[in-house]
A and B are shown apart, each in its own frame.
Chain A
Amino acid sequence: MLLDEVRNSAYARAIKGLVGPETTVLDLGAGLGLLGLMAAKAGARQVYLVDPSPVLLDVESVIEANGLGDRVSIILQPIEAASLPEKVDVLVSVMTGNFLLQEDLLPTLFFARDRFLKSTGTLVPAKGTMVAVPVTLARPERHPAFRLMRAIQGLDYDSVRRRFVNRVQFERFFESDALYLAAPEPLATLDFSIADKAAVDTTTTFRATANGRLDGLLGWFDMDLGDHALSTGPQAESVHWKQAFMPLETPVSIRQGEEVQFSLNRPERGEWTWSVSVGGSVQRMSTFFGYRPDIEAFERQAPGHVLEDTPESVSARFVLERIARGVTRKEMERDFLQWNERHLVDHPSARTWLHQFLDRFSC
């Protein structure tokens, strides 16, 4: 993303318009710190770069090389665990996934906003709008949902086609990849300053502007950066975000002027479900049908399920008890491997497991 010049320029313009000599800025999920450093360079009084990934430590040399050490602080922690000495005027981030909601990063943005942004503060970006358009794919055979309508090497795979029909395909689409059958329409807008759920449940009606085969809907999002916008659609300058193709189970022919009703439901961290209604016939697809559910996993998640130990939880208890007692790493390894020999036979993986566990749960 560091090299996404289109995105970087759009953010730079927004940041320059917001930052003054008294401005404080939080760069959430900073990564290599570009957005926060742009704010520092634009003259912000103080910038906090927050990210749990050690990649953030590499930014120290960048800060030094650019002479920004007096105004940039690095906080190597998840935002939920971070503490800042003050609330900030500007919260800048790239918590928007493909088609806005993929990756489920927005709840983290909402958390950071509520905890660290002044009531008069500004978010960059300010809003995200999901957009979609009914399309004919230029090469439908590239999508397994349609390719599997025909045999592969003489073998009939149509019975598993359903899995692919019910998946959202996140891929880079260019204008030539999909013929629009109507004008793109906004589906929903999330105002990041007030939203508390990264979810969508909406119905939109398109009017066909051409005759054609409706293969599915192509979706993306547009970002509101204050006085200008950045689109992640196929018609816009190429950015690192991908578009979302939501196929129909069975493509249908539509005529110019005909209405296409499209409903999209996606709860936070939940399944994508979309339905398309044309001329009284409705098709409903859902990522719920895109995989084979693990019944045992569902049973384990039931509220009434009685929890049982696993070999790993027994090992964890053994180790945690000794940490509380105060043993050295060497003593721990000796005790653990002796104990483990009586329970498991896989010695090398037991040692690896122990040290990973100790790195995480001891200091």
Chain B
Amino acid sequence: MIASAETFRCKPDVLFQEVSGEIVLLDLVSERYFGLNSTGARVWQGLSEGRTTEEIISGLAKEFDVSGAQLDQDVNELLEELMQAGLIESA
């Protein structure tokens, strides 16, 4: 489980572009493409702007009518997936 206080950053070899609110990623190392839905895209944008995990979660909490615990869980799961895929690293 990732702690909210942890901070991550997008790996420099990951290119991304936004398309209709979603994000397509290209990892130059693994040569694989990834897609993030609109919520995942918000997380990625936050990471790319250097926000902490806490800041990203609180930003999403203002927009979505979801419990804090649920949001924590969803964001942490996504961050774990991004870590496992080698797309982000600890800052």
Report yes or no: A289 in contact with B17, Cβ–Cβ below 8 A: yes
Quick check: which of A112-120, A291-299, A316-324, A348-356 contacts chain B, the rest being far away?
A: A291-299
Q: Give Cα A273 to B35, complex, Å.
A: 19
Report yes or no: B26 in contact with A288, Cβ–Cβ below 8 A: yes
Report yes or no: A265 in contact with B35, Cβ–Cβ below 8 A: no
**Which of B15, B19, B26, B31 is within 8 Å of A295, CB to CB?**
B19
Q: Give Cα A271 to B15, complex, Å.
A: 11
Report yes or no: A299 in contact with B35, Cβ–Cβ below 8 A: yes
Report yes or no: A273 in contact with B28, Cβ–Cβ below 8 A: yes
Closest A residue to B31 by CB, please name it: A267
Interface residues of B in 4-29 (CB under 8 A from A): 15, 17, 19-20, 22, 24, 26, 28
Report yes or no: A295 in contact with B22, Cβ–Cβ below 8 A: yes
Q: Give Cα A271 to B17, complex, Å.
A: 14
Q: Give Cα A292 to B18, complex, Å.
A: 9
Report yes or no: A298 in contact with B35, Cβ–Cβ below 8 A: yes
| Contacting residues, chain B, for A289 (C-beta < 8 A) | 15, 17
Contact status of A265 and B22, CB under 8 A, knowing A288-B15, A299-B35, A302-B35: no
Q: How many interface residues does chain B have, given as a range? A: 10 to 19
Q: A295-B19, A295-B24, A302-B35 are in contact. List 15 more A-B contacts (CB 8 A).
A: A265-B28, A267-B28, A267-B31, A286-B15, A286-B26, A288-B17, A288-B26, A289-B15, A292-B19, A293-B24, A293-B33, A295-B22, A298-B24, A298-B33, A301-B33
Closest B residue to A267 by CB, please name it: B31
B interface residues with partner A (beta carbon < 8 Å)? 15, 17, 19-20, 22, 24, 26, 28, 31, 33, 35
Contact status of A270 and B17, CB under 8 A, knowing A288-B26, A298-B24: no
**Which of B20, B22, B26, B35 is within 8 Å of A271, CB to CB?**
B26
Give the total of A residues in contact with B, Cβ under 8 Å.
Answer: 15
| Contacting residues, chain A, for B15 (C-beta < 8 A) | 273, 286, 288-289
Can you list 6 A-B contacts with CB-CB less than 8 angstroms, sorted by A residue number?
A: A265-B28, A267-B31, A271-B26, A273-B28, A293-B17, A295-B24
- Binary B-proximity of A267-279 (CB < 8 A = 1, otherwise 0): 1001101000000
A interface residues with partner B (beta carbon < 8 Å)? 265, 267, 270-271, 273, 286, 288-289, 292-293, 295, 298-299, 301-302
Report yes or no: B19 in contact with A293, Cβ–Cβ below 8 A: yes
Main secondary structure, interface of B, reads strand
Q: Give Cα A133 to B22, complex, Å.
A: 37
Q: Give Cα A270 to B28, complex, Å.
A: 9
| Contacting residues, chain B, for A292 (C-beta < 8 A) | 19
| Contacting residues, chain A, for B35 (C-beta < 8 A) | 295, 298-299, 302
Closest A residue to B24 by CB, please name it: A293
| Contacting residues, chain B, for A271 (C-beta < 8 A) | 26
Q: Give Cα A295 to B35, complex, Å.
A: 7
| Contacting residues, chain B, for A286 (C-beta < 8 A) | 15, 26
Closest B residue to A265 by CB, please name it: B28
Report yes or no: A270 in contact with B24, Cβ–Cβ below 8 A: no
Q: Give Cα A288 to B25, complex, Å.
A: 9
Q: Give Cα A288 to B17, complex, Å.
A: 9
Report yes or no: B28 in contact with A295, Cβ–Cβ below 8 A: no
Q: Give Cα A267 to B35, complex, Å.
A: 20
| Contacting residues, chain B, for A288 (C-beta < 8 A) | 15, 17, 26
Q: Give Cα A286 to B12, complex, Å.
A: 13
Q: Which 3 A-B pairs have the closest CB atoms?
A: A293-B24, A267-B31, A288-B26
CB distance from A123 to the nearest CB of B (A): 26
CB distance from B30 to the nearest CB of A (A): 10
| Contacting residues, chain B, for A270 (C-beta < 8 A) | 31
Q: Give Cα A270 to B26, complex, Å.
A: 10
CB distance from A244 to the nearest CB of B (A): 19
CB distance from B74 to the nearest CB of A (A): 18
| Contacting residues, chain B, for A293 (C-beta < 8 A) | 17, 19, 24, 33
